[in-house]
């Protein structure tokens, strides 16, 4: 039997271990990528009588590409500038 243990750190509320024997590795990756699992302390894969820490492997599979933050506001910048001009009475 193989299953995964996902330990989530909820801060002051403590920790929560999510253990579901029916969940697959693909499903764990999917839930992390969708944001369902956050603040992960560790992920263990338990198979037969062995335990393996696979946190780094799973998190590297879910890594999203870095997007340059400067490119995100290109459309909003002209609108913000016009709004500021109106606010200061120059338009």
Query: Domain boundaries in the chain?
Result: 2-87
List, edge to edge, every strand of the sheet that includes 15-19.
15-19, 2-9, 40-47, 50-53
Residues 6 or more apart whose CB falls under 8 angstroms from that of 89 comprise none
Instruction: Give residue 50's pLDDT.
Output: 94
Instruction: Give residue 91's pLDDT.
Output: 67
Q: pTM value?
A: 0.66
Instruction: Give residue 89's pLDDT.
Output: 78
Question: How far apart are the C-alpha atoms of 58 and 56, rounded to whole Å?
Answer: 6
Query: What pLDDT tens digit does each residue of the chain (91 aa) get?
Result: 889 999 999 888 899 999 989 999 999 999 999 889 988 999 999 998 899 999 999 988 887 665 555 555 566 666 677 777 888 877 6
């Amino acid at each position: 039997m193989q299953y995964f243990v996902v330990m989530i750190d909820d801060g002051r509320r403590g920790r929560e271990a999510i253990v579901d024997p029916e969940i697959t590795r693909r499903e764990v990756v999917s839930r992390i990528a969708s944001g369902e699992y956050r603040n992960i302390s560790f992920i263990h894969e338990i198979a037969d009588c062995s335990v393996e820490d696979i946190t780094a492997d799973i998190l590297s599979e879910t890594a999203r590409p870095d997007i340059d933050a400067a490119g995100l506001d290109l459309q909003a910048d002209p609108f913000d500038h016009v709004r500021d001009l109106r606010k200061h009475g120059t338009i």
